[in-house]
């Protein structure tokens, strides 16, 4: 058996060497397909790794309360600041106070989104979100300050923290401490700049890079002195059973809302589930698109093998005349197909490695080359070789040796 495989390999090399250009083009086609899928899988694994780390960091302590009619959807995640979301939220400051008084509660931060634009006297309104909240949001949501400080209990009401990109849009720079902008004609002074965000799980549904954050008291002034709260972020005490904690919050809110189940509590992996679903869906779509190029490469293998069968009809006839079985002929052509697909797969994996790292320069996630990615690349390469090489191999084996010799005599 080893001698037979060695003979098949030697014959395959000679055959492929006689059609170098066709062979190289076919290998390139397979390589492009494998590279595309490898890059997609590596980037997908990289994002999933970040999501897992973030869930591990947040899942043990964070609960999120939202109106029951405002569950996160895929559309919310692609547009993190829906203008009309939570327009009739049942959540109020009384709910915030009740949750704060629970024994297992460590910190609470209400989120109140406001309509309106952010602008300076010399710029057109900038694309932005306006969020009114309390100082606890910084620690609960792990927001990082690049310059200045976050809002606190001693800062004036007409102060704000802005996202890095909003600062650039308004003032042309990320260093805008002390600059002024307007919300509905009210002037605010920038006291802090947020670092750019790169967390895939945005359970606040806020694009902080384009957000102006003001105090809850300032936000209430734009709403007739009433806090229209769209979300409550809750941080539990260490060691708290989050499932029990979520049920306790739900019971507390039902008691305040006359038994109505008009709010939902999300804890642990429930927070990350919409984001995970979105990334899985996007990865699946990208993988399907990348598979098209792999199929094209496979068709290239089939084409070059069919041409080879046609050109080597006399050789096939001679081999069958001296005793070669159909299985030996099939295995001979499958070896040639596997050589092409394996070389394409190897080059494709290397190309996918560099493609993924090049893509990571433009997105905030690093690719992860796990053994599963290596396994998929190898399996796809072998699979393409076998699937698209089998028909030409069977066609070669079915040739009548007498007819083949007579035709090329």
Please report, rounded to a whole number, the percentage of residues in the chain having pLDDT higher than 70: 82
| Whole-number Å distance between alpha carbons of 199 and 213 | 18
Average pLDDT over residues 55-70: 74
HEC profile for 71-120?
CCCHHHHHCCCCCCCCCCCCECHHHHHHHHCCCCEEEEEEEEEECCCEEC
Average pLDDT over residues 74-90: 49
Element (H, E) at 388: helix 371-397
Better-scored residue on pLDDT, 85 or 116: 116
What pLDDT is attached to residue 84? 42
DSSP string spanning 168-216? HHHHSSS--TT-EEEETTEEEEEEEEEPPP--S--TT---GGGEEEEEH
Q: What is the mean pLDDT of the chain?
A: 81
Query: Taking 50 as the threshold, does the pLDDT of residue 6 lie above it?
Result: yes
The pTM score is 0.63
In the chain the first and final C-alpha atoms are separated, in Å, by 32
Please report, rounded to a whole number, the percentage of residues in the chain having pLDDT higher than 90: 26
What pLDDT is attached to residue 232? 94
Average pLDDT over residues 317-339: 80
DSSP string spanning 263-284? EEEEETHHHHHHHHHHHHHHHH
Most confident of 12-21, 147-156, 179-188: 179-188
Query: Taking 50 as the threshold, does the pLDDT of residue 368 lie above it?
Result: yes
Domain ranges of the chain: 2-53+276-407, 60-267
What tens digit of pLDDT does each residue of 86-141 get?
A: 456 889 999 999 999 999 999 999 999 998 889 887 667 777 889 999 999 998 88
> Residues 6 or more apart from 121 whose CB is under 8 A from it?
182
- Tell me phi and psi for residue 201, to 5 degrees: -90, 100
| Whole-number Å distance between alpha carbons of 245 and 250 | 9
């Amino acid at each position: 058996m080893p001698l037979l495989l060695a003979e098949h390999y030697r014959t395959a090399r000679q055959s492929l060497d006689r059609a170098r250009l066709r062979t190289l083009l076919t290998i390139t086609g397979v390589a492009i397909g494998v590279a595309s899928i490898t890059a997609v899988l590596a980037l997908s694994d990289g994002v999933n790794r970040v999501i897992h780390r973030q869930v591990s960091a947040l899942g043990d302590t964070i609960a999120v309360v939202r109106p029951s009619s405002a569950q996160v959807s895929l559309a919310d995640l692609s547009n993190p600041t829906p203008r009309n979301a939570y327009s009739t939220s049942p959540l109020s400051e009384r709910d915030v106070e009740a949750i704060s008084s629970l024994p297992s509660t460590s910190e609470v931060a209400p989120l109140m989104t406001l309509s309106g634009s952010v602008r300076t006297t010399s710029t057109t309104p900038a694309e932005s979100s306006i969020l009114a909240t309390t100082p606890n949001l910084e620690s609960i949501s792990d927001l990082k300050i690049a310059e200045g400080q976050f809002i606190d209990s001693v800062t004036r009401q007409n102060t704000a923290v802005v996202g890095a990109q909003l600062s650039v849009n308004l003032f042309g720079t990320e260093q805008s401490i002390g600059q002024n902008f307007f919300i509905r004609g009210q002037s605010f002074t920038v006291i802090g700049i947020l670092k750019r965000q790169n967390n895939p799980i945005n359970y606040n549904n806020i694009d902080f890079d384009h957000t102006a954050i003001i105090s809850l008291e300032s936000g209430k002034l734009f709403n007739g002195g009433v806090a229209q709260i769209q979300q409550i972020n809750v941080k539990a005490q260490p060691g708290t059973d989050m499932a029990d904690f979520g049920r306790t919050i739900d019971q507390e809110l039902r008691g305040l809302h006359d038994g109505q189940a008009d709010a939902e509590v999300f804890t642990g992996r429930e927070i990350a589930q919409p984001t995970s679903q979105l990334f899985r869906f996007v990865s699946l779509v990208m993988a399907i698109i990348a598979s098209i190029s792999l199929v094209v490469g496979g068709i290239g293998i089939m084409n070059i093998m069919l041409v080879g069968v046609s050109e080597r009809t006399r050789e096939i006839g001679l081999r069958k005349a001296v005793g070669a079985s159909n299985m030996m002929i099939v295995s001979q052509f499958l070896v040639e197909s596997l050589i092409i697909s394996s070389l394409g797969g190897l080059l494709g994996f290397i190309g996918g490695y560099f493609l993924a790292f090049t893509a990571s320069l433009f997105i905030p996630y690093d690719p992860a080359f796990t053994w599963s990615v290596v396994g998929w690349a190898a399996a796809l390469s072998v699979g393409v070789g076998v699937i698209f090489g089998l028909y030409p191999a069977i066609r070669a084996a079915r040739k009548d040796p007498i007819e083949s010799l007579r035709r090329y005599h």
